[in-house]
Amino acid sequence: MANNQIDLLSLFNQVTKTVKDNKTSLNEADSYNHDHGDHMVEIFEVITKAVKEKKNADPADQLEYAASLLRQQAKSGSGKLYAQGLNEAAKTMVGKDLNAGSIMSMVQSILGAGEAPADKPAVSDDMLGSLLGSLTGGGKADAQSSGMDLGDLLGSLTGSGTPDAQDGLDIGDLLGAGMSFMSAKQGGKSNLEALTGALVSGSQMATSPDRVQSSQLVTSTLLKSLAKMLSQ
């Protein structure tokens, strides 16, 4: 069932506010053109506008429209990457309700982490939702995943269970992200900071310092906003 607390417009509104607040630092991180912050504001203003215009549509349709609008209006390299990511996210959301797991899969697709190859098992949305709840320590997963803690997730990854193959992070990707997460935790970062860094490190956004910085802002904002919605 859909979780009525989750709203894509609210999520992207919060991201737009965050990138606006950090526009100057993102421009400074862009050592080449010094305008990455400007582009990020433009990108998420377009995305938010698109989602608002399609507020009564299914999530997949909202994301597909956002991708189309972004391709038309945002001419930067980052804009093209986010348009591609939104298009992939739309595919992952077809026929799905908004819940912790599907949003996690959506975030992964927006970042351009890609889909699991056909010969590799994928981690289900329920497990992604459980991962978010376990690592952020906030929010509640949907009814299907509420009984699964991080130990259950790790048990599945180590062979005591096999998740159904669906679009999303494959096991190799998740284990890689898990290693990044553990390393970040050892460095003193919070669960949310560590999870954000792990997701971004395996994405197509990890190609330059400015994109790493902006995608970490985007990801952490989405995850914090989602956890807040789920805790209400």
CA distance 199 to 136: 13
Contact call for residues 177 and 135 (beta carbons, < 8 A): no
Does residue 3 fall inside a structural domain? Answer: no
pLDDT at 79: 95
CATH for 136:
1.25.40
pLDDT for residue 187:
57
- Classify residue 107: in a domain, yes or no: yes
The model scores a pTM over 0.85: no
Instruction: Judge contact between 139 and 100, C-beta under 8 A.
Output: yes
To the nearest 10 degrees (0 to 180), the angle between helices 8-21 and 209-231 is 140
Q: Is residue 2 part of a domain?
A: no
Which residues on neighbouring strands pair with residue 170, listed in sequence order?
Answer: 122
Residue 196 lies in a domain: yes
Q: Into how many domains does the chain fold?
A: 1
Position 190 scores a pLDDT of 64
pLDDT in the model for residue 167? 43
- Compute the distance between CA of residue 42 and CA of residue 16 in angstroms, rounded to an integer: 9
With a cut of 70, which residues of the chain have pLDDT below it? 1-4, 113-195, 232
CA–CA separation, 166 and 134 (whole Å): 21
- Domain, as residue range, for 64: 8-231
